[in-house]
């Protein structure tokens, strides 16, 4: 029997240290960790962990939502895959979530649902925040590579017959940047 730990954060800016410390303190012999969204159906490290667990192994995670945020059916699918391989599952944050008994599987499905609802709430709040920011005049995305004056000069040079790549070299941008400048800027 091997104790396998799995930790996940969603972005590269987030830190895995707390989760890894928890898993080490829980006695995990093998650790799998990655920085990928729980909304992804395929995750390289997670899929590798699932392929490597064997009968008798115990899979430990800091919290259920580390496994997936795709809802209760995906949570059940993940837990089914773990138990189908003869392994058991345990969550450090939810000690009642233990796939060695049916009630633990039911609780895990419920938490999967809550994780999905939490994700939906996050998406709704960030969408509302972006909408309100746009209403206040906040501009999203990368800043333009060329100023308004530079873009007007590009249009003049193109009208004068200069090749796009020549213009791009002059402004130290790509040819595609020059080709996207279609009309005078507001």
**Which positions are catalytic?**
10
Reading the block at residue 171, the tokens are: 């402004």
97 in Cβ contact with 51 (< 8 Å): no
Contact 25, 52 (CB under 8 A): no
* Nearest by Cα to 5 from 92, 109, 73, 74: 92
Q: Residue count of the chain, please give it.
A: 186
DSSP assignment of 93-153 equals: S-TT-BTTSHHHHHHHHHHHHHHHHHHHHHHHHHHHHHHHHHHTTPPPSPPPSS-HHHHHH
């Amino acid at each position: 029997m091997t104790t396998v730990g799995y930790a996940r954060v969603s972005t590269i800016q987030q830190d895995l240290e707390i989760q890894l410390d928890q898993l080490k303190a829980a006695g995990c012999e093998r650790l799998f960790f990655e920085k990928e969204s729980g909304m992804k159906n395929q995750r390289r490290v997670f899929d590798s962990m699932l392929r490597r667990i064997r009968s008798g192994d115990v899979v430990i995670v800091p919290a259920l939502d580390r496994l997936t945020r795709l809802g209760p059916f995906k949570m059940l699918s993940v837990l089914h895959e773990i138990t189908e391989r003869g392994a058991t599952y345990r969550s450090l944050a939810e000690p009642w979530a233990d796939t060695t008994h049916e009630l633990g599987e039911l609780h895990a499905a419920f938490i999967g649902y809550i994780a999905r609802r939490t994700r939906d709430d996050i998406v709704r709040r960030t969408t509302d925040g972006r909408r309100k920011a746009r209403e206040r005049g906040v501009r999203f995305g990368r800043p333009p590579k060329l100023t308004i004056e530079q873009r007007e000069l590009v249009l003049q040079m193109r009208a004068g017959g200069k090749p796009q790549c020549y213009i791009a070299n002059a402004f130290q941008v790509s040819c595609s940047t020059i080709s996207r400048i279609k009309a005078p800027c507001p």
